[in-house]
Amino acid sequence: MSTVALRFSPAAEHVRTARLVAVAVARRAGLGEDQLDAIRLSVGEMCARAVRRCGDTGVTEPMLVEVDDAGPRLEIVVTDSADAAEGDDEYVALALVRGLSDDMDLGDGPGGRGGRVWLSWDRSAD
Amino acid sequence: MSTVALRFSPAAEHVRTARLVAVAVARRAGLGEDQLDAIRLSVGEMCARAVRRCGDTGVTEPMLVEVDDAGPRLEIVVTDSADAAEGDDEYVALALVRGLSDDMDLGDGPGGRGGRVWLSWDRSAD
Amino acid sequence: MELTVTSRQEGARTVISVSGEIDVYTAPSLRERLNELVASGHYDLVVDMEGVEFLDSTGLGVLVGGLKRVRSHDGTLRLVCAQEKILKVFRITGLTKVFPIHATLEEALADTSSTPDGADA
Amino acid sequence: MELTVTSRQEGARTVISVSGEIDVYTAPSLRERLNELVASGHYDLVVDMEGVEFLDSTGLGVLVGGLKRVRSHDGTLRLVCAQEKILKVFRITGLTKVFPIHATLEEALADTSSTPDGADA
Ligand SMILES: Nc1ncnc2c1ncn2[C@@H]1O[C@H](COP(=O)(O)OP(=O)(O)O)[C@@H](O)[C@H]1O
Ligand SMILES: Nc1ncnc2c1ncn2[C@@H]1O[C@H](COP(=O)(O)OP(=O)(O)O)[C@@H](O)[C@H]1O
């Protein structure tokens, strides 16, 4: 029960709020400044991706960012309700997130293809 | 659907995150700096109150902060699952919030007495 | 932004500089620090709040607790604060009548009264 | 912290100072500004990113778009950035090979090469 979850309509204006939440939880969980920079960017990228997916497919259902600091790793899950194949424009965002997180997986969400991203950071890395 | 909602376990460490979310949404919604200060403090007070209520009554279910900027007023609802009569120690917090918000109401939450607070600010006030 | 509390002696006064956010999460560490100071015989305190970015009612409670504690030793607790958003919290809760609040540390150190409005200075 | 974009002429170069957060929400306003400058005949741009606190891939896309646009007029787009966390974003995405990146504005203005590594300077 130490998950913090932020639910919001898939709009670009809320992405900054999601970054703030992820970084605030990670900071309290004791992660280092380099990891906080990585988390800020990764969560920003994955939320921007979700907003784009929802915009492209006309989805207005809220998206969700969950940050779980209970285990040995800080785990973050970003979920949207869109159903969309991987777009060409996602390449850079995904490359960045792969480069900045300790583990990253892409799976289906409640709406279909590509709607859920798992990110995690080892607490001990810094 | 322009509600941003933050769900978290009733722990003091998350109250700052809730303040960040409320202020971020209010800033994007165009409220002025004085109003942002009032929102920061009011949301902080009401979340601290909820954390205390849950701690006092052994409630561990998550609490919820919802910020809605769709209407002419910015509306914020803080909900916890505790059932508790108004405590003597709430007096100062409630006085502060009454002094800082444009409207404030206290009602029952999903767990019982006092578990829901409505706050609102007029957008035009600044 | 966590809370940072440092203290130093200025003549007979103990100056406690607080910076960061005083809230439900961080206030206990400030309470502890004030209690330690009083327990070790420091009864004339000046709490410098210039670096305080946020103060909630939990923080007010800690300051009121500190004031009660030093008063039981005939001591004083003065505040230094010039920030309007923080002063507002003291004003709404009526605590401007309880604490001597100074705009600068120099002013607080120069003040030798023992009541908020300096009537007996 | 919204995005602030200001521009001024330095000889033949147009210096665009960007501060705040360049993200999916604010990047369109930077794109618009770059497009306006190119449309009004400014083809030698220096984007000063010293005040940038956050940059995401949407922001990178805008800079790459600006670069393509000035190049179609035989122009240049140089970046000024010394912040490690921002440089890292260019490095991971391979864009350090695409943009000339300078540590200071003076250095960017002094550079007369037209390739990232200054090989033809
Ligand atoms: N950080 C995580 N938190 C929760 N679930 C995860 C996380 N990472 C991966 N998963 C889930 O576990 C599955 C397997 O991922 P993982 O064990 O990391 O293997 P790999 O990264 O080699 O594919 C993913 O498809 C996803 O469903
Ligand atoms: N900002 C608000 N957002 C949503 N519901 C509210 C809000 N303020 C009040 N309410 C609900 O409406 C009821 C009546 O409140 P209100 O119309 O403000 O009258 P008053 O403040 O005079 O009691 C409250 O008990 C609460 O259930």
HEC-encoded secondary structure of C46-97: EEEEEEEEEECHHHHHHHHHHHHHHHCCCCEEEEECCCHHHHHHHHHCCHHH
What mean pLDDT value characterizes chain C?
Answer: 93
The answer to whether the CB atoms of C57 and B93 lie below 8 A apart is yes
Nearest to B28 by CA among C77, A110, D2: D2
Q: Hey, what are A76's tokens?
A: 């973050």
pLDDT, averaged per 10 consecutive residues of chain B (126 residues), comes to 90 97 95 96 98 96 96 96 90 92 96 97 75
The answer to whether the CB atoms of B96 and C92 lie below 8 A apart is yes
Instruction: Please tell me if the CB atom of residue B75 comes closer than 6 angstroms to any atom of ligand 2.
Output: yes
Tokens 């007023």 map to which residue? B73
Q: Which pLDDT score, from 0 to 100, does residue D119 have?
A: 45
Query: φ, ψ for residue A22 (rounded to 5)?
Result: -60, -45
Q: How confident is the model at residue C119 (pLDDT cuts 50, 70, 90)?
A: very low
The answer to whether the CB atoms of B4 and A21 lie below 8 A apart is no
Nearest to D79 by CA among D15, D12, D24: D15
Q: Hey, what are D45's tokens?
A: 């741009």
Minimum mean pLDDT range among B59-63, C11-15, C112-116: C112-116
**pLDDT tens column, A1-43:** 479 999 999 999 999 999 999 999 999 999 999 999 999 999 9
Query: φ, ψ for residue D105 (rounded to 5)?
Result: -65, -40
Q: Which pLDDT score, from 0 to 100, does residue C120 have?
A: 45
**pLDDT tens column, A47-104:** 999 999 999 999 999 999 999 999 999 999 999 999 999 888 898 899 999 999 999 9
Architecture of domain A3-122: 2-Layer Sandwich (3.30)
Cα A70 from Cα A68, distance rounded (Å): 6
Q: How confident is the model at residue C1 (pLDDT cuts 50, 70, 90)?
A: low
Interface check for D60 against chain A (CB to CB < 8 A): the answer is yes
Domain coordinates of chain B in residue numbers?
Answer: 3-122
Of B3, B5, B9, the CB nearest to A1: B9
Q: Which pLDDT score, from 0 to 100, does residue B62 have?
A: 98
Q: β-strand B112-122 against C13-22: which pairing, if any? A: unpaired
Q: Hey, what are B112's tokens?
A: 């019982």
As for the ipTM of the complex, it is: 0.81
pLDDT in tens for each of the 121 residues of chain D? 589 999 999 999 999 999 999 999 999 999 999 999 999 999 999 999 999 999 999 999 999 999 999 999 999 999 999 999 999 999 999 999 999 999 999 999 999 886 555 444 3
D94: CB partners within 8 A, 6+ apart: none
**pLDDT tens column, B66-95:** 999 999 999 999 999 999 998 888 888 999
Q: Hey, what are C92's tokens?
A: 């709404």
Nearest to D101 by CA among D68, D76, D120: D76
Q: Which pLDDT score, from 0 to 100, does residue C116 have?
A: 57
Q: Chain D closest CA to A40's CA: distance in Å?
A: 9
Query: φ, ψ for residue A121 (rounded to 5)?
Result: -130, 135
Q: Which pLDDT score, from 0 to 100, does residue D116 have?
A: 57
pTM of the model: 0.85
Q: Which pLDDT score, from 0 to 100, does residue B89 have?
A: 82
Q: How confident is the model at residue C118 (pLDDT cuts 50, 70, 90)?
A: very low
Q: Hey, what are A86's tokens?
A: 């991987």
Nearest to C113 by CA among C101, C105, C103: C101
Interface check for A98 against chain B (CB to CB < 8 A): the answer is no
Cα D102 from Cα D20, distance rounded (Å): 19
